[in-house]
Amino acid sequence: MVDTHIHVVPPNLPGVGSLSRVLRDPADDVAAKLRAEMRAAGVHTVLAMGEWNCPPEDPLGVRSTLLLADKVPGLKAIGVMDPVRGADRDHVRAVEAELKLGRVVALKGYLGYLHYEPAHAGYRPYYELAARYKLPVVFHTGDTYSPYAKLKFAHPLGVDEVAVDHPETKFVLAHLGNPWLTDAAEVVYKNLNVWADLSGLVVGDGSQFIEPEFKDMLTDLGHAIRRAFRYAERPTRFLFGSDWPLVPIAPYRQYIASLIPSEFHTEVFAENAQNLFRLGDSRP
């Protein structure tokens, strides 16, 4: 099984902090906790988001993630785009040099946290590199963890514009645009180069899946996820992700599995990610 959306380092986004106390632990402890989570959930591959606003020698913010990858078999790095630096030719050259090494499986944009729409010119060089190196572009969409975020930039409909303008680039709507799940499903339905991940739709320590007080919330969310999945009519373009450590992987996997028809489990929990992120392929 593949978990396409986790964190192993603080994202360093405005107003977010470390995201989770776990990510403030020493690297060896984070690695041990993640290995245990992966074993418990039956996960063999995880894709981890990098850090924003790193120094020039780490243009995609993956250095710390790659160090952890040495401690966690199956851990892959996703680099972080910065629309402010996209106009800097030296930065773009440094990004391409990193991509040539084949250590990054995707690029990530933090819509909402950063106050730039997907169509902003600062993102375009990343889209072109993503197409050239056959890497997906993952966008945070939907609700955020920061009071400084601006939700209008995080709406999934913004990705429709760049999906049309950059047909050679593949895009992923992280969190299925929650709470705009149907809007996200429409973007997936309409555009053959758009996927969605199912990460972070429930956040907490796992008690949410067993405590009676959360039953109505899970039921309502479940109806919305099922509707979005049916509406999109694209079972080959949905991806499992957890958003660990914001939620334990195993119970979250069980919850998502209860909502996706069993005939699509192999695709959603493994095959779609393997195909999209070219897991197992030689790079670059």
Q: What is the pLDDT of residues 48-87, one digit of tens each?
A: 999 999 999 999 999 999 999 999 999 999 999 999 999 9
61-70, 159-168, 274-283: segment of lowest average pLDDT: 274-283
Neighbours of 274 (CB within 10 A): 14
User: For residue 284, what pLDDT is reported?
Assistant: 54
CA-nearest of 107, 105, 75 to 92 is: 107
Three-state SS string across 83-113, please?
A: CCHHHCHHHHHHHHHHHHCCCEEEEEECECC
| Domain covering 2-276, topology | TIM Barrel (3.20.20)
Element holding 45 (H helix, E strand): strand 45-49
Mean of pLDDT over the chain: 97
- To 5 degrees, how large is the angle CA 130–CA 133–CA 139? 25
CA distance linking residue 245 with residue 99, whole number of Å: 27
* Bridge partner list, 46: 3, 75
According to DSSP, the residues that pair with 173 across neighbouring strands are 139, 196
pLDDT in tens, 220-261: 999 999 999 999 999 999 999 999 999 999 999 999 999 999
C-alpha–C-alpha distance, residues 8 and 198, integer Å:
18
Could you give the count of Cα atoms lying within 13 Å of 64 in the half-sphere of its Cβ? 23
- pLDDT tens-digit series, residues 72-127: 999 999 999 999 999 999 999 999 999 999 999 999 999 999 999 999 999 999 99
Question: Does residue 268 have a pLDDT over 80?
Answer: yes
**Is the per-residue pLDDT at 281 higher than 80?**
no
